[in-house]
Amino acid sequence: MIFKQLQNNNRCFLAKNSKKYSTWVNNGRTTNFVARINTPAPITGYSTYDAQRKELIVNMSGGTQYIVSLNGKIILTTTQSQISIPLNTGLNKISVETDQTCLGTYQEDVLVNAEITSYPNPTTGKLTIDLNETIPQSNIEVFIQDVNGAEISRQNVQVEQGQKLNLNLTKYKNGVYLIKVGNRLVPVIKNE
């Protein structure tokens, strides 16, 4: 229990790990008050990518008004819980917040590429993936999956200007792998 002396002999008690406050005024008589403070649920969202239209469809909950930013610039203020965001080729940094800052922020990075190529493919181990796009220097999450979609490896890779990722598949068995870069899958054959 936490006790705090307030002005004019008012006292406040807070039960630890609780959102229930009890207060009384001690000026000759005791009056008890109970205040329950409910915190709102944080903003949540999920998205799907429409590759043909180069749009991200984001479904939001937790707010009444949403402020949508793309690459640091506000592009939309809406009360709609489903938002379609047109994406640019390259790295898109999406941020959605509400008019109530205490609800937090929904953030997502989406990499849109016209084409991704890999070489040599088939490979004996060393593989280069050319993103064929000019995107700013950034960290990109790369997943390596087997043909059934089971994740074998996940790593953050620093992409420099020039947009080539160098991966080493020598420790993997011969077979077909799917390398997920951003929202694109690159099939690769590993054969020694």
Question: Tell me: the pLDDT tens digits for 2-51?
Answer: 444 444 454 444 444 445 455 555 555 555 555 565 666 788 888 888 87
**Does residue 52 sit in the same domain as residue 29?**
no
Determine the structural domain holding residue 121 and report its residue range: 117-190
DSSP annotation of 7 reads G
Choose between 130 and 78: higher pLDDT: 78
- E strand residue ranges, 8-89: 10-14, 20-26, 30-36, 44-50, 55-61, 66-70, 73-78, 82-86
Q: How many domains does the chain have?
A: 3
For residues 126-154, average pLDDT: 80
Average the pLDDT over 119-138 and give the result. Answer: 77
Judge whether residue 150 has pLDDT over 80: yes
Higher pLDDT, residue 185 or 131? 185
pLDDT tens figures, 52-81: 788 899 999 988 899 999 999 999 999 999
- Looking at the fold, whether 77 and 129 belong to one and the same domain comes out as no
Is there a single domain that holds both residue 140 and residue 184?
yes
117 contact partners, CB below 8 Å, separation of at least 6: 129, 130, 132
The answer to whether 36 touches 94, Cβ cutoff 8 Å, is no
Domain stop point among 64, 82, 112: 112
Q: Are residues 172 and 150 in the same domain?
A: yes
Give yes or no: residues 10 and 67 share one domain.
Answer: no
Same domain, 54 and 96: yes
Split at pLDDT 50, 70, 90, the class of 132 is low
pLDDT score, position 3: 41
Q: What's the confidence (pLDDT) of residue 102?
A: 77
Domain final position from 112, 131, 159: 112
127 and 107: one domain? no
Question: 49 and 97, same structural domain?
Answer: yes
Q: How far apart are CA 109 and CA 53, in angstroms?
A: 17
Question: Is residue 24 domain-shared with residue 56, that is, in the same domain?
Answer: no
Residues 67 and 100 in one domain: yes
Confidence at residue 181, expressed as pLDDT on a 0 to 100 scale: 80
pLDDT: which is higher, 165 or 20 = 165
Same domain, 103 and 128: no
Question: Does 1 score more than 50 pLDDT?
Answer: no
Of 109-118, 141-150, 170-179, minimum mean pLDDT range: 109-118
Whether 192 shows a pLDDT value over 50: the answer reads yes
